[in-house]
Structure 1
Amino acid sequence: MQKVLLIEADVAAGEDMLTAAAGLGLETYVATHEELYERYRPELRTKVTGTAFTDFAAPEKALDDLETFCRARGIDGIVAVWEFLSPLATRLAARLGLPGHLPERADHCRNKRLMAEAFAAHGVPAPRTVSAADPQGLAQRIEESGWDYPLVVKPAENAASIGVSVVRSAQELPDAARLAQHQTHKYPHGIALDTTLLAQEYVDGDEFSVETVLFGGAVHHLVITEKFTTAGTSRAELGHTVPAELAPNVRASVYAATGRALAALGLRDGLAHTEVKVDGHGHPKVIEVGARPPGDHIMRLVHDALGIDVARAYLQTTLGRRPDVTPRREAAAAIRFITAPRAGTLRGVGALPQGEHVVATSVTKAPGDEVGDPQDNMGRIGHVMLRADSAAEVNKAAVEAMGSLTVELANER
């Protein structure tokens, strides 16, 4: 029986990965912190064969600890489940001689400053980027570049749209910088984040992501996901639809740009989740790449729409097996996130949608809980999942579903 190590399974994709591992008949171990494992949900713990406890806040020690564990247990595959630990997973796989990505570019897949440098060096179509340690330095770099506003300001290392702002004038830079540098360590493991500030050219257009499986350097693009985001100064994600409806030439351009980005980052065996914007002329720009499973239940959307088990394919690549990426149906699936109109105390969520296209609803906050505004992806209070025969049909159903529900705050009358 083959054995895999999942590096932090207590995240959105964790249950999918554990379920897929059980379906493949694998012995599944998880690397985490001992105190955090005590808080794992029962449905996760029942699928775990054993645990490797370490301190991810000390990355070199964690690498040594996990190498010792893997050699003692005879681990056959290393799986990065939480994106903040994808560089650790890459280095660990390389040390063990197991399938994975190029270790010398491990940090480029997580640090957006290094990623932008790799994109520029390899001619990837991407927004131009400058960086600085503080807002004064960033303002100077922007002025030297001769760029016009709006621009996007973001931290070098974070996720879920945390710290990201669309800045429309130099006067807005200090506030955007404070937001970008607000989080210095990543909960719950205390991982230190690079707080370098980035400014990028703003790309006006529609947003998508490309879901990809890589095996031995061969690229298998599964699907393009349509993304729905907030407007204004933030870009929190409000929902996704699989597959995106795109003209064939635009789809080919998106796939081509994505392939160049993956090559620039040295991705070889595993998954990639690539965020792309397409302007009004159909020209793509790669925003960033994650060397890990997509979040937000996108793996379930791909399965519902196309019949491809992304988690299973990922595990197959980490074990050196050819992944099963054959579509088994042509349908469409969507998720839309429930958010509050502003920060406050939740009174309740009413009129959750039902109907032939609604396959699941979930509310993760209870009355009395404090909720944030939808400035980033952490402000969500639930979701609705839908399925239909086409993207147009599922998007229409999603609009109707979200229009029917209500979110009440305690101070509303």
Structure 2
Amino acid sequence: MKKLVIIGANDFQNQLILKAKSLGYETHVFAWEDGAVGKDNADYFYPISIIEKDKILEKCKEIKPDGVCSIASDLASITVNYVAEKLGLPCNQTKYANIQTNKYAMRKALLDAGLPCPKFVLADESFDVRKLHDFSFPIIVKPTDRSGSRNIMKLESTSGVMKAVTEACQTSFEHKAIIEEYIEGNEYSMETISYKGEHHYLATTKKFTTGAPHFIETGHCQPSDLSQDVLEKAKSHIIKALSALHIENSAGHSEFKVDKDGNIRIIEIGARMGGGCIGSDLVYLSTGNDFMKMVIDISCGDSPEFADILKNQFVCIKFLMNKYDFDNLDLLKEQAKYKIYRESIFDRKPDSKVTDDSNRLGYYIFK
């Protein structure tokens, strides 16, 4: 039996564990025990934090896995590539980890490649606000190295910039923030799979958020509403961006905005699947392409298999954001025009304050 190491065990990673088991893999899962929803589904569970790369590596040397993977976390992807590279397994090269996970380094790499990005600057707690004299407002302030809408702030002027920078730096692992011009327009993400440096388009997702000031994601839908012309333009930019970031053997989740004139601006790119069930569920339900299987196959050195006939099915995820959503879940489901595919209510109080993607109350997927 082939052995697969999976980094992470939260609700979203649990779908990868279940997929691997359905494919006949022996699953070895590493995660901090608190919140490890996938613990009970794993064949072997190791209560080691996903950031403890060397501890995980030492255990993996004993396991001798056929592949190492994860699906929806920048932190997990760093460990995946580190461990896989040390074991001689397929991955993205660790020397490019910084440009694949750090928003400032990524922006510089994309800019060097001539790709369309918002204007940006690096900041720390000693930042001189006068450096923004030639920026157009509004602006966005966020940590350089976190995901999940953590500590994002939209500002209409320089007032409050240092408070936002300080909060972003306190959230950041490297204690840095990136300030960028805000791009008006609808937000999308493009889901891709890369194998031996060749990139394959899978789907485009329309994203919905709470809006300013924090832009916490409230839902995703596939297929998107982009015209074919704009979609082809976005594909061209994203494929070039994946190469510029040296994403060679992994999923890709590329976030971008489209303004009223159809211009594309790349926001950021993850060398991983999109979170919020985009990769684990939506791509498969909307297109028929088994994205999770592709990720597993590539981690084991096998080429990805694509669906012979693509579906074009509407699918959407709605996140529970507040007590109203929680209390009216049954009503929301009754009003939905589509079939409920899966729902998940997280172990949190319904009156909990949602401050970022990590502490939403739950979700349901309908198609």
Residue identity (%): 24
Shift of 1:347: 8.7
Q: Would you say the 8 A contact 1:163–1:182 is kept in 2?
A: no
Which position in structure 1 is the counterpart of 2:147? 159
Corresponding residue to 1:132 among 99, 123, 136: 123
Q: Which has the larger radius of gyration?
A: 1
Q: How does 1:298-313 map to 2 (within 5 A)?
A: 298=278, 299-313=280-294
Q: Would you say the 8 A contact 1:12–1:295 is kept in 2?
A: no
Question: Deviations 1:20-40 (Å, cap 9, x if unpaired)?
Answer: 21122112111234xx17x63
Q: How does 1:242-281 map to 2 (within 5 A)?
A: 242-281=222-261
Q: Would you say the 8 A contact 2:30–2:49 is kept in 1?
A: no
Shift of 1:155: 0.7
Match status 1:208 vs 2:180: no
Q: How does 1:257-406 map to 2 (within 5 A)?
A: 257-298=237-278, 299-326=280-307, 327-340=309-322, 348-349=327-328, 351-354=331-334, 356-360=337-341, 362=343, 364=345, 369-372=350-353, 375-378=355-358, 380-387=360-367
Which position in structure 1 is the counterpart of 2:69? 79
Q: Count residues in correspondence.
A: 362
Shift of 1:307: 1.6
Question: Deviations 1:85-135 (Å, cap 9, x if unpaired)?
Answer: 21222122222221111221112222112111211222222112201212x
Match status 1:21 vs 2:3: no
Unaligned runs of 5+ residues in structure 2 are none
Partner-residue secondary structure (3-state), 1:372: coil
Q: Would you say the 8 A contact 1:115–1:265 is kept in 2?
A: yes
Q: Would you say the 8 A contact 1:347–1:368 is kept in 2?
A: no
Q: 1:310 and 1:281 mapped to 2: Cα distance?
A: 32
Q: Would you say the 8 A contact 2:340–2:365 is kept in 1?
A: yes
Which position in structure 2 is the counterpart of 1:148? 136
Shift of 1:46: 4.4
Taking structure 1 as the reference length, the TM-score comes to 0.80
Deviates further, 119-128 or 347-356: 347-356
Q: 2:342 and 2:18 mapped to 1: Cα distance?
A: 21
Partner-residue secondary structure (3-state), 1:337: strand
Which position in structure 2 is the counterpart of 1:94? 85
Which position in structure 2 is the counterpart of 1:411? none
Q: 1:367 and 1:156 mapped to 2: Cα distance?
A: 28
Q: 1:132 and 1:318 mapped to 2: Cα distance?
A: 36
Unaligned runs of 5+ residues in structure 1 are 185-192, 388-413
Shift of 1:303: 1.7
Q: Would you say the 8 A contact 1:32–1:53 is kept in 2?
A: yes
Q: 1:210 and 1:164 mapped to 2: Cα distance?
A: 21
Q: Would you say the 8 A contact 1:80–1:89 is kept in 2?
A: yes
For residues 123 and 66 of structure 1, do their structure 2 counterparts lie closer, same or farther at Cα, with a shift above 3 Å needed?
same
Letter in 2 for 1:254: A
Deviates further, 355-364 or 274-283: 355-364
Which position in structure 2 is the counterpart of 1:232? 212
Q: Would you say the 8 A contact 1:131–1:138 is kept in 2?
A: no
Q: Would you say the 8 A contact 1:138–1:197 is kept in 2?
A: no
For residues 341 and 56 of structure 1, do their structure 2 counterparts lie closer, same or farther at Cα, with a shift above 3 Å needed?
closer
Q: 2:22 and 2:273 mapped to 1: Cα distance?
A: 18
Q: 1:196 and 1:141 mapped to 2: Cα distance?
A: 16
Q: 2:93 and 2:131 mapped to 1: Cα distance?
A: 31
Letter in 1 for 2:36: Y
Which position in structure 1 is the counterpart of 2:157? 169
For residues 382 and 4 of structure 1, do their structure 2 counterparts lie closer, same or farther at Cα, with a shift above 3 Å needed?
closer
Q: Over the residues paired in the alignment, what is the CA RMSD in angstroms?
A: 2.5
Q: 1:138 and 1:115 mapped to 2: Cα distance?
A: 23
Q: Would you say the 8 A contact 1:335–1:385 is kept in 2?
A: yes
Question: Deviations 1:350-398 (Å, cap 9, x if unpaired)?
Answer: 623225513147463689643215x5324533333221xxxxxxxxxxx
Partner-residue secondary structure (3-state), 1:181: helix
Q: 2:158 and 2:17 mapped to 1: Cα distance?
A: 47
Taking structure 2 as the reference length, the TM-score comes to 0.90
Q: Would you say the 8 A contact 1:302–1:310 is kept in 2?
A: yes
Shift of 1:283: 1.5
Partner-residue secondary structure (3-state), 1:15: helix
Which position in structure 1 is the counterpart of 2:105? 114
Q: 1:138 and 1:210 mapped to 2: Cα distance?
A: 35
Q: 1:365 and 1:161 mapped to 2: Cα distance?
A: 18
Partner-residue secondary structure (3-state), 1:225: strand
Shift of 1:68: 2.9
Letter in 2 for 1:129: F
Which position in structure 1 is the counterpart of 2:41? 47
Q: 1:382 and 1:364 mapped to 2: Cα distance?
A: 4
